[in-house]
Amino acid sequence: MRTSRAAGGALLLSCAGLLLTGCGLEPSTAYVPAAEPGSIEPVEGAEDTEVRVTSKNFTEQLILGKIAVLAMEAAGFETEDITNVPGSQPVRELMLSGDADLTYEYTGTAWLTYLGNESGIPDQQEQWEAVREADLDNGLTWGEPAALNNTYAMAVRSEYAQANGLETISDIASLPRAERTFCVESEFNSRSDGLTPLLAHYGLDRGSEVPEDNIGIYDTGAIYSATDDGECNFGEVFSTDGRIPALDLTVLEDDRQFFPAYNAAPVYNTELLEEFPGMTEVMEPISAALTDDVMQELNRQVDVEGRDPADVAYEWMISEGFIVEP
């Protein structure tokens, strides 16, 4: 049995990421409220075995990381919280080196960034299967993906969408040319898989059917408010961003599957999972409950209301019955 042990490399990386909060001084990132198992059943043999949970350092990843920490604790494992690691590559290295055992990762990130493929696979199930197969040789096993798909999306003011019967990106073509206005960031405007090919994919020629004057370039964060204020009708957003519900924006369905899939899924150290296959029974119901709408709301509570990711994760886990208050 693999028993509790120190993870020196992971701790060093964790401390490096926590300089501003003071490593060793009970940083906020190491905090999760106490809980008892609800629907989560203890995994046989979990006691005296350590699971090290890691995550990146942006809002959604912090929430997902805390969810995983709470789940592993409820399952009976000794859990080391090494969430809030700065950057995707350091988290990947922790998993590859065996200094971390569990993380939530995105299929598109693994496929494009870690595995070096030139283009993503829009079909969500196919993308997950491709990543899962490729990562087995790296000592990592992908669990079942969540419905949440943190990919690019086009959002519109809800009242405008309702007034014009807009539900899909294809519906943009039904509007007069003057109303096909877009707010995008500079990278998305120029990249080979950005705005121009998106328009072409949906049968809209950039220039004749979407004039250059209809396209505004904004900083990423400003797109949400610009879209809400009506500076454009369609804004490039990330599909699980908390500002979508906060500003009452509607995400249009990518009905022709242009954007790559970025579904979140638990990724396990294969050696540990083979010893404790019950870990998947703990995580699968949690992933099944994580939709775009759920993640938008959880992100909103942190980014708009300023709440602690651990508290947001804790309350959601209780509301779903996975854990209970002690």
Here the contacts of 215-221 (C-beta below 8 Å, separation 24 or greater) are 215/181, 215/182, 215/184, 215/189, 216/181, 216/182, 216/183, 216/184, 217/184, 217/185, 217/186, 217/189, 218/183, 218/184, 218/185, 219/185, 220/185
Same domain membership, residue 212 and residue 112: no
Mean pLDDT of 91-104: 98
In a domain, 216, yes or no: yes
Mean pLDDT of 23-35: 60
What is the pLDDT at residue 11? 40
Mean pLDDT of 150-165: 97
What is the pLDDT at residue 73? 97
Q: What is the pLDDT of residues 52-95, one digit of tens each?
A: 999 999 999 999 999 999 999 999 999 999 999 999 999 999 99
- pLDDT > 60? residue 26: no
Same domain membership, residue 293 and residue 236: no
- pLDDT > 70? residue 237: yes
Q: Alpha-carbon Rg of the chain, whole angstroms?
A: 21
Q: Taking all residues of the chain, what is their mean pLDDT, rounded to a whole number? A: 91
Q: What is the pLDDT of residues 218-236, one digit of tens each?
A: 998 899 999 999 999 999 9
Same domain membership, residue 272 and residue 139: yes
CB 258 within 8 A of CB 153: no
What is the pLDDT at residue 277? 97
Same domain membership, residue 269 and residue 143: yes
Same domain membership, residue 43 and residue 141: yes
Q: What is the pLDDT confidence band of residue 12, given thresholds at 50, 70 and 90?
A: very low
In a domain, 206, yes or no: yes
In a domain, 28, yes or no: no
- pLDDT > 50? residue 1: no
Domain boundary residue among 218, 252, 286? 252
Same domain membership, residue 192 and residue 291: no
Mean pLDDT of 241-256: 97
Same domain membership, residue 244 and residue 229: yes
Residue written as token pair 């942006």: 58
Same domain membership, residue 145 and residue 265: yes
What is the pLDDT at residue 23? 32
What is the pLDDT at residue 2? 42
Nearest to 70 by CA among 120, 108, 31, 15: 31
**Which of 157-161, 171-175, 185-189 has the least mean pLDDT?**
185-189
- What is the DSSP annotation of 28-75? GGG-----EESSPPPPTT-TT-EEEEEEESSHHHHHHHHHHHHHHHHT
- pLDDT > 60? residue 98: yes
Domain boundary residue among 195, 217, 252? 252
In a domain, 26, yes or no: no
Nearest to 231 by CA among 208, 247, 209, 253: 247
Reported in sequence order, the residue ranges of the chain that DSSP labels E, i.e. its strands, are 36-37, 50-56, 78-85, 102-106, 140-142, 152-157, 182-184, 215-217, 234-238, 249-251, 264-269, 323-324
CB 191 within 8 A of CB 197: no
Same domain membership, residue 198 and residue 124: no
Domain count, the chain: 2
In a domain, 77, yes or no: yes
Query: Which structural domain range is residue 238 located in?
Result: 152-252
Stronger pLDDT, 19 or 71, i.e. the higher one: 71
Q: Rounded distance, CA 237 to CA 195, Å?
A: 12
Of the chain, the percentage scoring pLDDT greater than 90 comes to 85
CB 296 within 8 A of CB 17: no
Same domain membership, residue 142 and residue 219: no
What is the pLDDT at residue 31? 84
In sequence order, the β-bridge partners of residue 88 are none
CB 306 within 8 A of CB 174: no
In a domain, 61, yes or no: yes
The number of C-alpha atoms within 13 Å of 89 and in the hemisphere containing its C-beta is 2
Residue written as token pair 């009708």: 233
What is the pLDDT at residue 29? 60
- pLDDT > 80? residue 113: yes
Same domain membership, residue 237 and residue 279: no
Q: What is the pLDDT confidence band of residue 19, given thresholds at 50, 70 and 90?
A: very low
CATH of the domain at 238: 3.40.190.120
Domain boundary residue among 252, 272, 305? 252
- pLDDT > 70? residue 6: no
Q: Rounded distance, CA 91 to CA 54, Å?
A: 7
Residue written as token pair 């993380």: 103
- pLDDT > 50? residue 27: no
Same domain membership, residue 303 and residue 285: yes
In sequence order, the β-bridge partners of residue 140 are 269
Mean pLDDT of 282-289: 98
Q: What is the pLDDT of residues 183-224, one digit of tens each?
A: 999 999 988 779 999 999 999 999 999 999 999 999 988 999
CB 72 within 8 A of CB 1: no
Q: What is the DSSP letter of 307?
A: -
